[in-house]
Structure 1
Amino acid sequence: MKESVALKRLTGIEAQIEKKMDEWSVPGAAVAVIHKEEVLYCSGFGYRDVHKQLPVDSETLFGIGSSTKPFTTMILAMLVQEGKIQWDTPIKEYLPNFRMYDAAATEMLTFRDIACHRSGMPDHNFMCHKPMLSAQQWVDALPYLEPNLSFRHAFQYSSLMYAEAGYLIECLTGIAYEEWVRERIFTPLNMRNSNFSIEQTTAGSNFSKPYVMTENGIVELPFTADQPGAAGAINSSVDQLAAWVSFQLNRGVVKGQRHIDEDVMQELYIPQVIVKQGGALPEFPEMPHTAYGLGWFIDCYRGHNLVHHSGRIDGFTAHVSFMPAEDVGIVVLANQNMSFLPDSLAYTLYDQLLAMEAVDWTSKFQQHEKKIYEMIAAMNPAADRVDVPNAQKDLLPFDSYTGLYNHPAYGDITIKQLDGKLVFDFRTLISDLTGLNSLQFLAEEVGLPFTFTVDEQGKIVGVQLPLEPSVQPIVFSKQL
């Protein structure tokens, strides 16, 4: 596609963006359209701070969540080019003490397995909830984290394993993953304000606050306390992500200088595993086949090859994509939790750029969103009412429950008495525990059921929490 043709087809883009923002009730968004090395369009809309009515512009920082993952695989590809690693060499050959829960995965897991999500591991999201672990401690935790699929059985999205990839990079090279990205990607692409830190983001003046749509309207969220690292920690702006997309379209060349061999880079876009659609992933006839490469989803979008990755993190949603054959790409950032604005807007703009018949992407994604909420409701049926006053009669003395509990990967939970109540403390999570019977409690503030375990003498020796729904409850053993 010629640049002049693409530019002409963007006529009326502002009206289209504002219409979509209104349909999705998004307070602020930023949009870029890229053609090879040229940014055809780049602008902000709405507010980065609703209360102060501060506008979004092209330099406003947003969390991009899992749109971080392609940065991780780009660093892995650069390390492959330099001979520091190979995609298909078992990690155990680099780190002889490397262990997974599964014996086969221990012996055979490679960086390719991690990069295309076929390790058999689920997300184990609570592992990322503000853990204070070193890179080596993260890697050492792997043998204690249960998979829910057989190794290499199928595609299963796992942010946990992407986070682990970052820590493995540090263990192998002695250089933190974040430093690799800053030196090899941010600096040459002039992504000067992109970072991995909420503290660094909020120290500046031009950043978006995170929001969520509720029954009472738009509500500001606190910035996430999680540390998703190589899986989802980048904060960036639409103008800087436009440079990132241009880097893809120019096959690794920036201002005439090559930063990675084209054949090494192109391997990232080769389909590795089939992605089963349905559930959380939409089923649209316009994209009949979805695959995952190395850090990128790969779709046949209405007959055109589309490489893309969305991102969701508390209060922010992102879409980063490009069409290699057409030399065009799109970035959409929004400051609303779990919003489908970025995806629906990006596909609408691609239809314009390709001069194709318009599709009502808002309606399609609204129907998909409804299915997701119905699926969540079915997985979490309303709990039966509990007669708590009667349940309290069956409780053991509170000091039977109090103490320090530990899981070798998840770390410590403290249960203590406070103002006549039992309270649990896990990293940044604190909640009262309401007794349902002598061994079952509910942490109502965070919606977690607690099940205590006892030995033959009836003494409490542990507590089980369903922190990863797809595996057995995580067992914390009582230490004190």
Structure 2
Amino acid sequence: MRLPADWFVRRWKSWVVLSAMTLAPGPALAQTVTPEQVTPEQVTAALSKLEQQAEAVVADGGVPALAIGVVHDDEVVYLKGFGLREVGKPEAVDADTVFQIASLSKPVSSTVVAALLSEGLVSWDSRIVDLDPAFRLADPYPTSQLTIRDLFAHRSGLPGTAGDDLEDIGYDRTEILRRLRFVAPSSSFRAGYSYSNFGLTEGAVAAAKSTGKAWEDVAEEKLYRPLDMTSTSSRHADFVKHANRAALHVKIGGAWAAKVQRQPDAQAPAGGISSTVRDLVQWVRLELGNGVYGGKTLIAADALDQTHVPLMTRGSNPVTGGASFYGLGWNVEFGRHGLSWGHAGAFSVGARSLVTLFPKQKLGIVILVNAFPTGVPEGLSDSFADLVFDGRVDKDWVKSWNTVFDGLFGPAVAAAKATYATPPSPATPALPNGAYAGRYSNDFVGDAVVSGAENGLVLQVGPDGARSYPLTHFDRDLFLAFPNPEMPDMPSAVRFAIGPDGKASAVTIESLDENHLGTLRRADR
């Protein structure tokens, strides 16, 4: 078993969203009355205790750093950073530190599309075939009827990981979106919920085509610039220009380390925004103001309202038990403190993010973290809500959310490593290198080249062989690659099928086979 480059995030999405949030009734919730309004005094008292909790989390090594922003009644009432931008270096995180916010990009991008609706350029029900005629799904009927709404609600039928694998091996956005036509649907059109980075990306890109401009320019023009979000961008190149930016951290040997970078431009609308808590609270003000910012209507209320309508069920929150749904780039939840809108983000190479809004109380919190895996954002957000609404926290929410992450990933990782920990004894020798060497191809992955090297075989995949992996022999025609940058000891199988001529006729690359498209046929006969 091999874990692909963003396996942690994919597993988190599918497990937290689909399995733990089952469609069966969730735990019974206490019937409490949530106040329509909260007072400034309630928020101030909660912030004092939240700050103590955030300081303790960083001091105890729970995360290297985090930043928090809070809005109440259209006022920014809290902005602060804690910890270090990069472990081992002295620079501290503050309210102006730029983080990669991963899938928190989705509700931000939904707001950008709402701005286009507000100007009458598109509607949520604009068909993709009219905006971007080149885009195709696997089947003609969904292709002809697919809308922006379908893609932002994750109900197109695309499997959740479709395209992520192509991004891993170096394909750009245009090529990834073109190749989605080769992916078989995981459900009937509009019948199933499957969280898809590149599905939502296509929805945003298609909407932007109504302006004749690139998505990145549209996001800046319609949202970042009007809200004076000067440190926010949908381009990775802008992120790395900032001196005050947070590095990504993963656990190595039980300690946080900054080892890997993540360039998410291919899926910019779904996961490629970088920002600060100072900037994001301005967006929160716009959302809680129902399109009004600084006393002016920037986005029509009905365009924004549609993003918060629950469209697809997500079952029950695995920790709090709240009933959860998906709107258009937003989670819509009915929990112990009433209605909330939110979204989380994560990069398995070291980023976490979260926004939670209580629209009736005009209250919102943004938390950015430079580490993964961790449940700290959810834990702090749930603690803050309890402090505001109840005046106390009766549960260690950080511990509860960390347990979810630890219980999900630890056993799975151990099992994956154990699969190929020890070769068979005795192992069957491999055929000569020449039996495996050659070019293999399919429509989805493109070309893969296996060549002989001084120390064995090398597999190259991606555009112009962008990714190169040495192969380690395991048993007869089974080899192992180690393509996961944040987990260099995690093996992935590469299996050859031998034809009657004694040469490999096909190769199956496990890391690219999640949607059954990882088998490539020999193409150099």
Q: TM-score, normalised by structure 1?
A: 0.90
Give me the whole-angstrom Cα distance separating, in 2, the residues matched to 1:17 and 1:256: 33
- What do residues 176-230 of structure 1 show as CA deviations (whole Å, max 9, x unaligned)? 1111111111101111111234432222210111111233411112211444321
Q: Pick one of 468, 476, 479 that aligns with 2:520.
A: 476
Map of 2:218 onto structure 1: 180
Map of 1:362 onto structure 2: 398
- Does residue 434 of structure 2 align to residue 399 of structure 1? yes
What secondary structure does 2:374 align onto?
Answer: coil
User: Given that residues 129 and 225 in structure 1 are in contact (C-alpha distance below 8 angstroms), is that contact kept between their aligned partners in structure 2?
Assistant: no
- Does residue 48 of structure 2 align to residue 14 of structure 1? no
Deviation larger for 423-432 or 199-208: 423-432
* Cα 1:27/1:391, change in 2 over 3 Å: same
Shift of 1:116: 1.0
What secondary structure does 2:428 align onto?
Answer: helix
What secondary structure does 2:322 align onto?
Answer: coil
Map of 1:290 onto structure 2: 324
Shift of 1:457: 4.1
Map of 2:24 onto structure 1: none
- What do residues 157-187 of structure 1 show as CA deviations (whole Å, max 9, x unaligned)? 1112122223334555431111111111110
Map of 2:312 onto structure 1: 273
What secondary structure does 2:114 align onto?
Answer: helix
- What do residues 296-334 of structure 1 show as CA deviations (whole Å, max 9, x unaligned)? 011123142110011101211111121100101001111
- Does residue 60 of structure 2 align to residue 26 of structure 1? no
- Does residue 104 of structure 2 align to residue 100 of structure 1? no
User: Given that residues 98 and 242 in structure 2 are in contact (C-alpha distance below 8 angstroms), is that contact kept between their aligned partners in structure 1?
Assistant: no
Residue correspondence of structure 1 range 374-453 to structure 2 within 5 A: 376-377=412-413, 380=416, 382-383=418-419, 385-387=422-424, 390-392=427-429, 394-395=430-431, 397-427=432-462, 429-444=467-482, 446=484, 447-453=491-497
Residue correspondence of structure 1 range 328-339 to structure 2 within 5 A: 328-339=363-374
- What do residues 248-295 of structure 1 show as CA deviations (whole Å, max 9, x unaligned)? 111112212211101111111110011034xxxx523x4430001100
User: Given that residues 427 and 476 in structure 2 are in contact (C-alpha distance below 8 angstroms), is that contact kept between their aligned partners in structure 1?
Assistant: no
* Cα 1:168/1:474, change in 2 over 3 Å: farther
What secondary structure does 1:199 align onto?
Answer: helix
Q: Pick one of 220, 229, 245 that aligns with 1:207.
A: 245
* Cα 1:105/1:474, change in 2 over 3 Å: farther
Give me the whole-angstrom Cα distance separating, in 1, the residues matched to 2:259 and 2:283: 28
* Cα 1:131/1:388, change in 2 over 3 Å: farther
The one-letter code matched in structure 2 to 1:366 is N
Map of 1:242 onto structure 2: 281
Deviation larger for 267-276 or 91-100: 91-100
What secondary structure does 2:161 align onto?
Answer: coil
Shift of 1:81: 3.1
Give me the whole-angstrom Cα distance separating, in 2, the residues matched to 1:346 and 1:111: 30
Map of 2:290 onto structure 1: 251
* Cα 1:441/1:231, change in 2 over 3 Å: same
* Cα 1:160/1:56, change in 2 over 3 Å: same
Give me the whole-angstrom Cα distance separating, in 2, the residues matched to 1:300 and 1:19: 29
The one-letter code matched in structure 1 to 2:318 is E
Give me the whole-angstrom Cα distance separating, in 2, the residues matched to 1:51 and 1:377: 27
Deviation larger for 177-186 or 250-259: 250-259
The one-letter code matched in structure 1 to 2:111 is M
What secondary structure does 1:382 align onto?
Answer: helix
User: Given that residues 169 and 176 in structure 1 are in contact (C-alpha distance below 8 angstroms), is that contact kept between their aligned partners in structure 2?
Assistant: no
User: Given that residues 135 and 177 in structure 2 are in contact (C-alpha distance below 8 angstroms), is that contact kept between their aligned partners in structure 1?
Assistant: yes
What secondary structure does 2:200 align onto?
Answer: helix
Please, which runs of 5 or more residues in structure 1 have no aligned partner? none
What secondary structure does 1:347 align onto?
Answer: helix
Give me the whole-angstrom Cα distance separating, in 2, the residues matched to 1:291 and 1:375: 28
Shift of 1:389: 7.7
Higher RCO (CA 8 Å, separation ≥ 6 residues): 2
Deviation larger for 437-446 or 300-309: 437-446
Give me the whole-angstrom Cα distance separating, in 2, the residues matched to 1:366 and 1:9: 22
Map of 2:511 onto structure 1: 467
* Cα 1:49/1:371, change in 2 over 3 Å: closer
Give me the whole-angstrom Cα distance separating, in 2, the residues matched to 1:100 and 1:134: 16
Give me the whole-angstrom Cα distance separating, in 1, the residues matched to 2:299 and 2:437: 55
User: Given that residues 66 and 311 in structure 1 are in contact (C-alpha distance below 8 angstroms), is that contact kept between their aligned partners in structure 2?
Assistant: yes
* Cα 1:468/1:290, change in 2 over 3 Å: farther
Shift of 1:50: 2.0
- What do residues 107-162 of structure 1 show as CA deviations (whole Å, max 9, x unaligned)? 32221111111122221321222634353x34321211233233223222111212
Paired residue total: 472
The one-letter code matched in structure 2 to 1:237 is T
The one-letter code matched in structure 1 to 2:230 is R
The one-letter code matched in structure 2 to 1:158 is S
Give me the whole-angstrom Cα distance separating, in 1, the residues matched to 2:179 and 2:219: 24
The one-letter code matched in structure 1 to 2:326 is Y
Map of 1:306 onto structure 2: 340
Please, which runs of 5 or more residues in structure 2 have no aligned partner? 1-37, 485-490
* Cα 1:164/1:405, change in 2 over 3 Å: farther
- What do residues 383-422 of structure 1 show as CA deviations (whole Å, max 9, x unaligned)? 1532488433x41x32332334333333333322222310
User: Given that residues 235 and 268 in structure 2 are in contact (C-alpha distance below 8 angstroms), is that contact kept between their aligned partners in structure 1?
Assistant: no
Residue correspondence of structure 1 range 46-65 to structure 2 within 5 A: 46-65=83-102
What secondary structure does 1:60 align onto?
Answer: coil
The runs of 4+ residues in structure 1 deviating greater than 6 Å are none
The one-letter code matched in structure 2 to 1:176 is A
Q: Pick one of 266, 271, 281 that aligns with 1:232.
A: 271
Shift of 1:474: 1.8
Q: Please, what is the CA RMSD of the aligned residues?
A: 2.5
* Cα 1:21/1:48, change in 2 over 3 Å: same
User: Given that residues 36 and 327 in structure 1 are in contact (C-alpha distance below 8 angstroms), is that contact kept between their aligned partners in structure 2?
Assistant: yes
Residue correspondence of structure 1 range 211-226 to structure 2 within 5 A: 211-226=249-264
- What do residues 4-56 of structure 1 show as CA deviations (whole Å, max 9, x unaligned)? 54224423332121123345621111111111321111011110122222111
- What do residues 52-107 of structure 1 show as CA deviations (whole Å, max 9, x unaligned)? 22111100011100000012222222333333333234322444443211344223
* Cα 1:390/1:374, change in 2 over 3 Å: closer
